[in-house]
Amino acid sequence: MLELIESHASFGGTQRIYRHESKAIGLPMRFSVFMPKEASQRKVPALFYLAGLTCTEETFPIKAGAQRFAAQHGIALIAPDTSPRGAGVPGESASWDFGVGAGFYVDATQEPWSKHYRMYSYVRDELRETVVNELPVDGERLGIFGHSMGGHGALMLALRNPDIYRSVSAFAPIAAPMRCPWGEKAFSGYLGADREAWKQYDASELVGKATRKFAAGILVDQGLADQFLAEQLNPDVFEAACNAAGQPLTLRRHEGYDHGYFFISTFIEDHLAHHAKVLLG
């Protein structure tokens, strides 16, 4: 049962925030939805956007400027929160890159995180099924994209589930989380010390094992003035893995752009067009 929290007219459609009781998480969860005007007459394709560290379901719709281009293509935009809220895990708000706002889109296996921190199952199954069943969304035409931690989530979810997501792209993704401090902290905390168990959530490990290629390609944009590029993001590792696997990839490197939403808003039109070509084609 969806509870409508707020709704605003936007580019001929509506920008909404919903809350629902999540069985996967075991707590209430919130997500934002932009519905284009076409949704009043028929089911529309949808893009899931996964946000980065410290963000909420409101960050993308407020900062990215995506509604204008989603309206032009007649595509819905869905953005979940980045972690459970109110799980009551001791210390879950102690650091900005682990715990609240930092679910990393994995299903935690380690106590005390495993009870509520199940963002992989939430995004792939429960959130998807909820919007397809309760909103005018075409479940056969879904894509996924994201930023930073959410870029990691989008690449990983798409590569593991090409039968669900027909298109994928990312902004400045944590592209090889097993090889960076953010990923090592999150994976060891949520998944334990066995690095073999980490590989199922690492896009650079998954691309060579994917059951189907994304023939239209994967689009990744990376700013070269990104303060996290050298230590955390590893786009070169993902590029090499795609090349070895024969997975078409367009990795665009942009001088002068950093990690934030000014970068995202600059190139969001290209990402919507990339997905529209697949979902509407």
pLDDT in tens, 87-123: 999 999 999 999 999 999 999 999 999 999 999 999 9
Q: pLDDT tens digits, residue range 120-173?
A: 999 999 999 999 999 999 999 999 999 999 999 999 999 999 999 999 999 999
Domain definitions of the chain by residue range: 3-280
Q: Which CATH superfamily is domain 3-280 in?
A: Alpha/Beta hydrolase fold, catalytic domain (3.40.50.1820)
Half-sphere exposure of residue 97: CA atoms within 13 angstroms, side-chain side: 15
How far apart, in whole angstroms, are the C-alpha atoms of residue 144 and residue 189?
26
Which are the catalytic amino acids? 148, 226, 259
For Cα atoms 118, 121, 124, give the angle at the middle one, nearest 5 degrees.
140
Identify the pLDDT of residue 61: 98
Length, in residues, of the chain: 281
User: pLDDT by residue (tens digit) across 174-207?
Assistant: 999 999 999 999 999 999 999 999 999 999 999 9
Model pLDDT for residues 12-32, shown as the tens digit of each residue: 999 999 999 999 999 999 999
Tell me the C-alpha distance between 203 and 173, whole Å: 10
**Cα dist from 195 to 32, 119, 160, 178, 201, whole Å:** 34, 19, 18, 8, 11
State the Cα–Cα distance between residues 55 and 59, nearest whole angstrom: 6
Query: CA 268, CA 221: separation in Å to the nearest integer?
Result: 10
